[in-house]
Structure 1
Amino acid sequence: MSAQPDSRSESGRPEVLVGPSGCEREAIHVPGSIQPHGVLLVVDPDDGRVVQAAIGPGAADAIVPDPVGRPLREALAPTAAPLLHDLDVRVPTLGTTHLGLVRAGETLHHLIAHRADDAIVIELERALAGEPGSFDEVYPHVRAFLEAVQRDGDVAALTALAAREVRRITGLDRVLVYRFDPDWNGEVVAEDRNERLPSYLGLHFPAADIPAQARELYRLNRLRLISDASYTPTPLRPDVNPRTGRPIDLSFAVLRSVSPVHLEYMRNMGTGASMSISLMRGDRLWGLISCHHRDPAIVPYHVRTACDFIGQVLSLQLAADETTTVADRRGALRAIQTRLLARMASAEQYVDGLVASGDDLLALAGADGAAVVAGGTIVRIGAAPSGDEVQRLVDWLAGRERLDVMATDSLAAAMPGGEALKDLASGVLAISISQLHDSYVLWFRPEVIRTVTWGGDPRAHAEPSADGLRLHPRKSFAAWRETVRLRARAWEPAEIDAVAELRTAIVDIVLRKAEETAALSERLTSINKELEAFSYSVSHDLRAPFRHIVGYAQLLKKYEGERLSERGNRYIDTIVESAISAGTLVDDLLGFSQMGRATLTPVAVDMNALVADVRRRTEADTHGRNVEWRVAPLAPTRADPIMLRLAMQNLIDNALKFSRHRDPAVIEITSTATPEETIYTVRDNGAGFDMAYVGKLFGVFQRLHRVEEFEGTGIGLANVKRIAERHGGRVWAKGRVDGGAAFFLALPRR
């Protein structure tokens, strides 16, 4: 499942996890053992004593037989003593350091140290006869690579150069450069080899070959060597660090043991030894330089250091090359952005400016088609799906978690039924330009059918052994071709960033328009306040004259009525009735005016108690009538109690008034709670109304019945609407002529 043996997940324990996700769950940083060609000691930094040890036969001559519990100086050969001074200062917080060479009899050993789990880890690795004694001896090879890097600029040339130079320095049979894609699938992009191992150039490998925890180790520790695929691990004794009670973290150990599954995987590939060097782009793993040899082999320490240096230089060059390419692309897209912004800023509606040059809108994302959805309209550009298909896409986007930018190169995998749009919209890039409305700009790319050659069937997985205790990796690495469908060319990060910047610009333009509208609204609000003040003043001043008219007319009838004719008395009754009606109208106008000026004081309101109290107050008006009340348990709410009482009073009075000719009159009061609001309903079986005129119901002085039929000033429902709006709520009504009516008052729950 991988072109390079070291790309398989490594095990963190001698036992292997069995199951579909076993490799992903292996704790590969705590294997509890080492490769046998060296020695590893865990040292307590406080007293300098060895607390754990793993002694491989390859370096046993450099250490005493039982070092645990001894001071480090006594555990190692006497020639190591000069190299052990000031360890606490010389050993870095992160990464390894080479302390020097230790002679034990006729052999030399590299002394390497790093920190782990609040301990110092010392490693001894036997030096090969004739190997470079220092980095200076291999530097001429590195210098040749550095000089060549200056001449080779693109990724293909740089990676091919690195593969060639690493194989020349190491003498191994095959060196691959392996690059990850955004989904962590890999591709061999460069190769240098002899005929002892087959070619994997151009082959792809699935992300499962290198699980996340293995990628993290590659990111932390840039170089790893497996000298013999058939080695027997040397266990660490004791198996846990007595300082922590846990296995020691060997992430940075040169000798760290690997999974038996991985070793079997190497043998299946015909690989006896491997070395890997991480290629980084910032803190992210870009790829690997993967080195293979058919037979067991040890790459000398200073040669590995040179290869690590080459890996670092290649990482920097690749990053610089990609940065330059991306910068050039961003510059071209920014020029397109500038033209689009200029058109939008000068247009009355930003949509008009956005679509004025369809070519620029398409070029901004490198798309074949686009669509702008705003204000209930859809404008399509280029090779875009139909209006109905675009609306289906918008509905799908609106039903998901709202993101500023959404990008997919496989709509079929993301949206149910997306495969139907493959010819025009296998890839979709979308920006949301409103938090309140379903407004989007979308770009489309068609399906691109391509063939991917894998290094073996990517569907093949490691299988459990007959006893179920361990996993066996696949054995075939023959090229396996797959035809990839329902996928478009991937959106580049620069394109995604460009449309995200366009979204910001559109939102800024919309906000500017909103500010202009807000300024106009503020002016209208000021005018409305002046009108309210005028209404209040006039209403207040008219109350006294109407009361005087009623009072004096009634006095006139009381004291002079006997001397007046029947006609005169009828005139006086008309004057009284009209003056009372006018006074009521003035009172209602005054209340309506005050409703817009009063301070809102929301508190928790028991709607059951409030409605019960309103019903008691209507008993005098309903005396002698057959009224059937159907009041369900009502949900509580939070509102201004005085205003809410007035609203319910008006709705209930309205229901009683228009059902006076029914026997019985049925008044039903219920509530419904949604996540956003609580809705109160007052329903009657009265005269009802024609829904064609429902828009007039809540206006001031708007009546749908003659005053001779049903009295009233036409302000009550306008008051209900104003109260709802003051609370951030809403009102509406449903009815039919002679079939009753239902009025709905919705108040927000927050």
Structure 2
Amino acid sequence: MTYQVDLTNCDREPIHIPGKIQSHGFLIAVNSKSYNISYVSKNVEAFTGLEATGLLGKNIADFEQQLEISGDIASLQQLLNLAKVTKTSDTINPLAIDVKGTSYNLIISHSVNDLVLEFEPTESDLGYDIQKIIGRSVSEILSGKNLNILLQNAAFEIKKIINYDRVMIYKFNEDGHGEVTAEVKNDNLEPFLGLHYPASDIPKQARELYKINLTRIIADVNSESSAIITYQDQATPLDLTHSGLRAVSPIHIQYLKNMGVESSFSISLIAHGELWGLVACHNYSPRFIDYKSRDASKLIGHILSSALEYRQDEEDNAKLHELTEAANAIADYIKKDSDFTFALTRNKITLKDVTTASGVALIYDGDINTIGQTPTTDQIAEIADWLKTNMVDTVYSTHRFPAIFTAAQQYSDVASGILACSLSKELGEMIIWFKPEQVTSINWAGNPEKPVEETADGMLQLSPRKSFESWTEIVKFTSEKWKTDEITAVLKVREDIIYAINRKANEIRILNERLQLAYDELDTFSYTISHDLRTPLSSIKSYSELLLATNKSLDDSAKKMLDRIIKGTDKMHMLIKEILHYSRVGRAEIELLPINMGLLLKEIKREVLSALNPENIEFTIGETPSINGDSVMITQVFTNLINNAVKYSSKSNPSKVSVQGETRNNEVVYSVSDNGVGIDVNYYNRVFELFKRMDNALEFEGTGVGLAIVKRIVEKHNARIWFESKLGIGTVFYISFKIS
């Protein structure tokens, strides 16, 4: 039976029923019930002298007698009985027999309604027994510490074992096309390492057979295949799925000839039950490997498959761990820092590290912040607008974005793949990760579009490639695919951010309520100060001045007393004025002027140490870059922080306090650190609240107002304050001032 391959059925070419076998051996098939011969290869006569058609219908016992089979084996009928009761014949194959004085390996396999007997030569072009040297080679293969080294070791050792001219490790990608990932070759051959091959080179049905037959030998591409004959009324071709002699598709034979290859051998590599790739071996002259050597090579394939599966899983797990650790670090940052933009984009680990993306954009609070390689801000805004309309779920991903959003074709080099997660659909807040075009060019071993020829009857028939010169196919608008682990990490980060945003919103609501209450109380207090205190003070001053001016009988002591009363009331008026001025600082505008921080910090240090008089302290002031601010308010901020640092570290021996300034990009960041009692993590979100004090701070004097005032002043300066602390180790407060 012949089967014509055309453009409509290439992937359905019935390569398991070619109707032929390779000519280096011969085949008979017997009915599994009667043991009468139902199929026979025509070349049986060349090997045995028996005419093929004359064998059809004969019983296997008659055939055995005609072949003059000898050897230390049971009869063929007994062997077939044994093969019938087993699902596989691997336990009995191969059987060494003599046919009319010539040694053969007999290999028995199952077909649909038949048992297939294949007779192969025992002589091998290897000239030695692979099984005796396989142990050392496997040890060398497994010494590879990562997947790439493992595969290269495998190619090197397999070439040493079977001595083919070229040995390649060929890996299948998700879309079915393959890539040569490791190669060892003779020096005179051009390299194939890194070349890609289209999926049509090894179509689906061929890949399925590679999962069943773990080794495949093509001994000589130039030899003529031998047809398999059967009864004239027998329309069903013999299924050679499990056959080692099965003939090769003429398309593939021509394919190898075009490459100059005269013999090939392959070992299947299986990972997680699927065909991961092949060990593809090419020889530029005919070469035959006997069944035992092929079986030993199959063992190498099993071991290598297990090893590469383990190494691949190990590398995948390491990458997953890396992404998970990055997501956990992000979660820690947003717990400590209320400025989400800073927490997500300005630390050692950023949003970019949550995936394998080359860039990321954070669209939050009206701003677009980017890290790594990304489109421009305007382009990102366009993408965000598109996502608002087209993003149905909270997470969206594609590795072909320019094909979906054509405007992205102009920046496909940085954004052929996007992974986006929504933070707030109403506000249009989101995070977008970007991947560039995966490969600018792929080197194919020949044109992946197989040329076609028109047959005499007008059909378009597939023809093998005529040339294998490496050419370049430009791959447009695709990126590396997003992995499940990346999407999982993004979902975790999104959950943490949403939780933090909701927590912050709730805190802001509570703080606004408290602030309004504080403003109301402050207005009442201001009224009291203004009227209830100023009026009697004015009266006291007026009466004192009147007495001093009109009473001539006062002695010098009385005059001095009245003069002190007048000066005291003036001072009280000034203090009241300053208190009222400060009470309105949250609502008043401030004037930012340059502040010499070196002088200011030295003065604060002197005053704090004089007031607290610590016994054993190491107080250091590092770099002091200038900032712009209200000098009175900034003095109060640093006085409060330094006072706390000295106070809460007073029980340490020695007490260590350090103040350090540093210029970072467009910011000046000051830190005030101590080795004191530290802050319990349970109080992190209450540190800057009014009248809140930690349990471990109750033995120290304080009102619980200082840090709330500090935060208020810092925010008034459009600056940021945050802290890091460990209980019993110490605390560091950071203040970041923008450089205007």
Q: Normalising by the residue count of structure 2, what TM-score does the alignment of the two structures yield?
A: 0.58
State whether structure 2 residue 231 is matched by structure 1 residue 236.
Answer: no
In the TM superposition, residue 351 of structure 1 has moved relative to its aligned partner by 9.6
- Aligned partner of 2:181: which letter? V
CA 1:467–1:257 in structure 2 vs 1: closer, same or farther (change >3 Å)? same
CA contact (8 A) 1:463 1:473 kept: no
Deviating more after overlay: 355-364 vs 281-290:
355-364
Quote how far apart the aligned CAs of 1:338 are: 1.6
Q: 1:93 aligns with which of 77, 80, 87?
A: 87
Partner of 2:20: 33
Q: 1:274 aligns with which of 264, 271, 276?
A: 264
Question: Paired residue for 1:144?
Answer: 136
Equivalent of 2:213, from 221, 233, 240?
221
Pair 1:457-2:447 in alignment: yes
Secondary structure, aligned partner of 1:121: strand
For 1:336, what is the secondary structure of its paired residue? helix
Tell whether 2:463 aligns with 1:472. yes
Q: Find the counterpart in structure 1 of residue 370 from structure 2.
A: 381
Tell me the CA shift for residue 410 of structure 1.
4.1
Q: Note if contact 1:240-1:247 (Cα within 8 Å) is conserved in structure 2.
A: no
Gap change, CA 1:400 and 1:87, over 3 Å in 2: farther
Match in the other structure for 1:520: none
- The residue that corresponds to 1:158 in the other structure is 150
Asked whether 1:54 is paired with 2:45, we answer no
SS in 2 for 1:183: coil
1:163-182 superposed matches below 5 A: 163-182=155-174
Q: In structure 1, which of residues 299, 305, 328 is the aligned counterpart of residue 318 of structure 2?
A: 328
Residue 120 (structure 2) aligns with? 125
- Quote the offset at 1:324 in angstroms: 1.9
1:362 aligns with 2:352: yes
Offset from partner CA, 1:306-348 (integer Å, 9 cap, x none): 2222222222222222222222222221111223344567899
CA distance change for structure 1 residues 453 and 361 in 2, over 3 Å: closer, same or farther?
Answer: same
Distance 1:386 1:201, change over 3 A: closer
SS in 2 for 1:236: strand
State yes or no: 1:17 paired with 2:1.
Answer: no
> Counterpart in 2 of 1:69?
57
Matches within 5 A, 1:334-345: 334-342=324-332
Offset at residue 438 of structure 1 (A): 8.6
Matched, 1:105 2:100: yes
| Partner SS state of residue 282, structure 2 | strand
- Amino acid in the other structure paired with 2:464: P
2:126–2:162 contact (8 Å) kept in structure 1: no
State the partner residue of 1:650: none
Q: CA deviation digits over 1:238-297, x for unaligned, max 9?
A: 38996xx74343222101112112212222222221111112222222222112222222
User: Which residue is equivalent to 2:653?
Assistant: none
Secondary structure at the aligned position of 1:237 is classed as: strand
The superposition leaves residues 607-655 of structure 1 with CA deviations (integer Å, 9 ceiling, x where unpaired) of xxxxxxxxxxxxxxxxxxxxxxxxxxxxxxxxxxxxxxxxxxxxxxxxx
Aligned pairs for 1:537-576 within 5 A:
none
> Aligned equivalents of 2:266 and 2:131: distance in 1?
20
1:34-68 Cα deviation digits (max 9, x unpaired): 22222333333333333333343487429774343
What is the CA–CA distance in structure 2 between the aligned matches of 1:45 and 1:435, rounded to whole Å?
Answer: 68
2:131–2:293 CA contact under 8 A, matched in 1? no
Trace 1:176-195 onto structure 2 (pairs within 5 A): 176-194=168-186
Letter in 1 for 2:87: T
- Gap change, CA 1:337 and 1:514, over 3 Å in 2: closer
1:508/1:250 CA distance change after superposition, 3 Å? farther
Q: Is the 8 A contact 2:416 2:437 kept in 1?
A: yes
Supply the distance in 1 between the matched residues of 2:209 and 2:496 (Cα, whole angstroms).
44
Residue 69 of structure 1: how far off its partner (Å): 2.9
Find the aligned partners of 2:124 and 2:378 in 1 and give their Cα distance. 76
Judge conservation of contact 1:203–1:455 (CA < 8 Å) in 2.
yes
Which among 488, 494, 498 is matched to residue 500 of structure 1? 488
Q: Give per-residue Cα distances to partners, 1:130-156, cap 9 Å, x unaligned.
A: 9779xxx32232112122124333334
Which residue of structure 2 lines up, in the alignment, with residue 203 of structure 1?
A: 195
CA 1:360–1:295 in structure 2 vs 1: closer, same or farther (change >3 Å)?
same
SS of the aligned residue for 2:157 comes to helix
Q: Residue 41 of structure 1 aligns to a residue in which SS? A: strand
8 Å contact kept, 1:177–1:189: yes
In the aligned structure 2, how far is the partner of 1:404 from the partner of 1:53?
Answer: 64
Q: Give the 3 Å change call, closer, same or farther, for CA 150–448 of structure 1 in structure 2.
A: closer
* Amino acid paired to 2:435: R
Distance in structure 1 (CA, Å) of the matches to 2:241 and 2:423 = 46
Deviation of the 1:169 alpha carbon: 2.7
Alpha-carbon distance in 2 for matches of 1:62, 1:84 = 22
Residue deviations 1:213-252 (CA, integer Å, cap 9, x gap): 222222232211111212333233338996xx74343222
Cα 1:388/1:210, change in 2 over 3 Å = same
Cα 1:468–1:439 shift into 2, 3 Å: farther
Counterpart residue number, 1:82: 75
User: Structure 1 residues 220, 405: CA separation in 2 closer, same or farther (over 3 Å shift)?
Assistant: farther
Residues 165-193 of structure 1, C-alpha deviations (whole Å, 9 max, x = no match): 33333233222222233333322233333
Tell me how far 1:365 sits from its aligned partner: 0.7
Shift of the alpha carbon at 1:199? Answer: 3.6
1:114 alignment partner, one of 93, 99, 109: 109
Change (3 A) 1:442 1:71: farther
Shift of 1:30: 2.2
Q: Give the Cα separation in 1 of the matches to 2:133 and 2:162.
A: 11
Q: Is the 8 A contact 1:51 1:68 kept in 2?
A: yes
* Matches of 1:371 and 1:320, distance apart in 2: 35
Which secondary structure state, in structure 2, belongs to the residue aligned with residue 417 of structure 1? Answer: helix
Secondary structure, counterpart of 2:251 in structure 1: helix
Match of 1:503, SS state, is helix
Q: Which residue of 2 aligns with 1:621?
A: none
Partner of 1:422: 412
**2:485 partner amino acid:** D
Q: Which runs of 4+ in 1 moved over 6 A?
A: 129-133, 239-242, 344-356, 398-401, 432-439, 508-515
Indicate conservation of the 8 Å contact 1:431/1:500, yes or no.
Answer: no
TM-superposed deviation, 1:389? 4.2
Residue 292 in structure 1 maps to residue 292 in structure 2:
no
The answer to whether the Cα contact below 8 Å between 2:214 and 2:298 also exists between their aligned partners in 1 is: yes
Any idea what SS the aligned residue of 1:151 has?
coil
Question: Sequence identity of aligned pairs in percent?
Answer: 28
Aligned counterpart in structure 1 of residue 308 of structure 2, from 298, 303, 318:
318
Partner of 2:295: 305
Structure 2 residue aligned with 1:262? 252
SS of structure 1 residue aligned to 2:270: strand
Shift of 1:369: 3.1
Rounded Cα–Cα distance in structure 2 between residues aligned with 1:444 and 1:461: 37
Distance 1:438 1:117 in 2: 62
Question: Are the structure 2 counterparts of residues 393 and 62 from structure 1 closer, same or farther at C-alpha, using a change threshold of 3 Å?
Answer: farther
Return the alpha-carbon distance in structure 2 between the equivalents of residues 158 and 32 of structure 1.
39
Deviation, 1:465, is 5.2
Contact 1:405 1:430 in 2 (8 A): yes
Could you tell me which runs of 5 or more consecutive residues in structure 1 were left unpaired when the two chains were aligned.
Answer: 1-12, 518-750
Q: Cα RMSD (Å) of the superposition?
A: 4.2
CA distance in 2, matches of 1:317, 1:247: 39
